[in-house]
A and B are shown apart, each in its own frame.
Chain A
Amino acid sequence: MESIFFIVVAAVAVISSILVVTCKNPINSALSLVMTFFCLATFYVMLDAPFMAATQVIVYAGAIMVLIIFVIMLLNVKAESNKRGTHAVLAGTVIGIFVLFQTCWFLIKGSMTGLPGVMDKASIVKEGHVEMIGKALFTDFLLPFEITSILLLAAIVGAVILAKKKI
């Protein structure tokens, strides 16, 4: 049961990502990307990370994609008239396939490394996923958290300055 569900959602994800790459109209690409994000959120739920799924939808599908669509409409981007040269497309595709091949090779030959921990489904249900993330975030990862805030400040300032008519 679960496997069928997984395969269906995976197929939807892959097809929509291919659509992102191949559509001529950028709005179509954007909408396909939103679809991909939703599929990924579903996967997160399947992987017992509901908070992450929610965050994914809110941040990616809700904020970033909206921003992108705003920009597309602001700049009045037309559909792409002509593609790049065939050589470039071919080269790009070949390299992409290479990347895929290497990654799969790693999967087959490699072994799982990484520190095992104590979390499992039961503890997630018992404690609450948000609380677990919060605990880790505000104790072990406090410094990156604070730095991220500065990063966001820099991004805001940068974005405002870059897009102004005159500085």
Chain B
Amino acid sequence: MTDAMIGLVALPLTGALATLLLPRSATAVAVGTGLATTVAAGLLLFGVATQGALHYEIGGWNAGLGIALRADGLSALLLMMTSLVVLAASVYASAYFSADSTRDRFWPLWLLLWTSLNALLLSGDLFNLYVTLELLGLSAVALAALGGKRAAVAAALRYLLVGLLGSMMFLAGVSLIYAGYGTLDLAMLRRVVEPGPIAWTALALMTTGLLLKTALFPLHFWLPPAHASAPAPVSAVLSALVVKAAFYLVLRLWLDVFANVVTPVAANLLGLLGASAVLWGSWRALQAERLKLLAAYSTVAQLGYLFLFFPLLLALPPGPTRDLAAGGLVMLALTHGFAKAGLFLAIGIIQQRCGHDTIRDLDGTAQHLPATTFAIALAGVALIGLPPSGAFLGKWQLLAGAVETGQWLWLLVTATGSLLATAYIFRVLGHAFGHRPYPNQPVTVAREEWPALLLAAMAALVLGLAGAPVWKLLEIGI
């Protein structure tokens, strides 16, 4: 079972090399690698569920001297989500790219991106996290610029520079930690870190770097153009997974490694920024002219919700209420991952078939792309937070926690944000439903529409109805 951890990194990396060396069979190799990696993620999830938190010391050296990989309930769940989303997007991408040259460039970079996501989620060493962050950033930028259109390249360049700034700040924090504590291993640090100038400064530096990468308001300016101009499968993964990875690191650092260093004041600051993100992102999404821009701003807003949990989790005393809230956070993160990916894939189909993604000119797409519109509707349900989506469970926990701790502001923000989300989703659906007769064939291009449908269904139905295991798994901490 612990070998699955190595498999999760080695399989996509080997696949990347294979697709580089065998461009003609690249698609088959890539999808095959995707299936294998997903199986490994499933094995890991099973292993964590049955055996508890797992760890693997690379090279056989004790953690500290070498680098350790660690998996607990949180990371195993995120790894499973990553695998399913990337697999679905890979199937979609196999039909999306028409030009040979773009396709040849796409697969190796795509699999390298997957490698970096898995490596980041599994890493148990601070400097190794820096390297995985850089790998993630570079592969994401290279994919975002694929196709070479001016808007995409400009947005990718800005993304790269912002990302580099973030990485440098993260590395400064890591260096300070090594200077102060002499170790880079996360488990060891959890035991020795104490509140003080070193821990505060290092955490502030690392968090700022990560907030740049997770696009939390007001450091979100780079996200909408980058996600809106990238090719559809890339946008799906960028919004659903890449920004989520940086958020996962903030979560891991604040609630796990530096748990006794964080203060409620700092958590409130994160909460306020999250609230601003929810309101600003939802408002801009409502004003957006293009579907992709709407989806990108929606990501900014949804990430804000995730940060609203921080002040709650710090205010609640350890116990069942806190565990429920933490589960709600993860459920919201997972649901958004699936929903946003499904949404972007569906928008990609519309963009290819209709030639544009302007919302106002969408009349009647529901009629000739019914499966796609249904996928958008399902994703919309999950983004608004209607039952039975997983987001409903997550937001419910958010509201319950806000009531419990008396932090009414978050209640107000969540309600307003959900209302705005309802508005912008219904605006899209309103334009999508015209008055033309219903076609005979619901699904037009299977390889593109099934992934979008399945992802959206996962978010809107499966996670909500079968969500109890999430809470159980989260009890398995590192």
Partners in one complex: no
